[in-house]
Amino acid sequence: MFEVTFQNYTFQSPLMNASGVHCMTSEELNGLIDSRAGTFITKSVTRQKRQGNPEPRYYETTLGSINSMGLPNLGFDYYLDYVNEYQKNFSTPMFFSVASMSMQENIETLKKLEDSDFHGFTELNLSCPNVAGKPQVAYDFALTEQILTEIFSFYTKPLGVKLPPYFDIAHFDQIATILNKFPLTFVNSINSVGNGLIIDPDKEQVVIKPKEGFGGIGGEYIKPTALANVRAFYTRLNPSIQIIGTGGIVSGQDAFEHLLCGASMLQIGTQLYKEGTSVFARILDELAVIMDTKGYSNIQQFQGKLKTIE
């Protein structure tokens, strides 16, 4: 009922974690394997292990979350070891997230991944908003094109990019024109909405320590922006480039809306952090009720079929 074909593999569920949530350690990653997620993704990796930003660096509200983690991760080798072990025991392809700290580090990491036995999907994170002094790569269109040109000169494994939200139709047009030049497997929209601010009015203070309290916003706050980005890329990109929908998925209805806009796989971040891995089963159960009510027996019957008002 929930099968989704992604490139040349059919996942049994369209749901997975968003990179950064429940995916730092092998224990957390194993917890995703035991859930109703169809697959899972690592925390964005850097060449060397990183501590990340000082705490508090994550804060939840009723409507979502703010984070300025600063790319903490256990380093490329840790996650490659995990992948090698995982692939011995499971056939479901997993996702490996690579952060772009610098062009040089990008190339180095992806060359090692190319030469490895990894045979899952690679997600190049072009949208981390929380490394001080590092602008989000995908807001620099020329740099994005340069990085993708360099990567596709040697990388042959299925690769997609994790994008920040765009807010201007001209920007959708410009970045889509660039992305259509490359043999991308997918585009994942969106990353957190960068550099928001949540405050505590009682203490009259920000709620996270890094960057004077500025951080990426997730959760219900960002669903309209996430849906717009999913739809904008679904209607602009070559059909060979599939869309992963991320942002504001709390319920089966939110999942349905992302699929209607054209998403194939769906990533859950903030709500997974809040609820734990039982969130996948709950959302699938809620999605099943919606599909039954509407008379849909599979996702393909409505995927991407959002109507405009004529």
Contact positions toward ligand HRO, by CB under 6 A? 20, 44, 67-71, 99, 125, 127-128, 130, 191-192, 216
Nearer to ligand HRO, 4 or 101 (CB): 101
What strand order describes the sheet that includes 265-268? 15-17, 265-268, 242-246, 186-189, 159-163, 121-125, 95-99
For the bound state, the minimum distance from the C-beta of residue 127 to ligand HRO, rounded and expressed in Å, comes to: 6
For the bound state, the minimum distance from the C-beta of residue 130 to ligand HRO, rounded and expressed in Å, comes to: 3
Q: Which of 65, 97, 100, 127 is catalytic?
A: 127
Q: Is 127 a catalytic residue?
A: yes
For the bound state, the minimum distance from the C-beta of residue 10 to ligand HRO, rounded and expressed in Å, comes to: 28
65, 96, 217 from 24: Cα distances, Å: 18, 12, 20
Q: At what angle do helices 103-115 and 141-151 cross, to 10 degrees?
A: 30
Nearer to ligand HRO, 109 or 191 (CB): 191
For the bound state, the minimum distance from the C-beta of residue 89 to ligand HRO, rounded and expressed in Å, comes to: 28
Q: Is 128 a catalytic residue?
A: yes
Q: Which of 44, 68, 97, 128 is catalytic?
A: 128
For the bound state, the minimum distance from the C-beta of residue 58 to ligand HRO, rounded and expressed in Å, comes to: 9
Residues designated as active site: 127-128
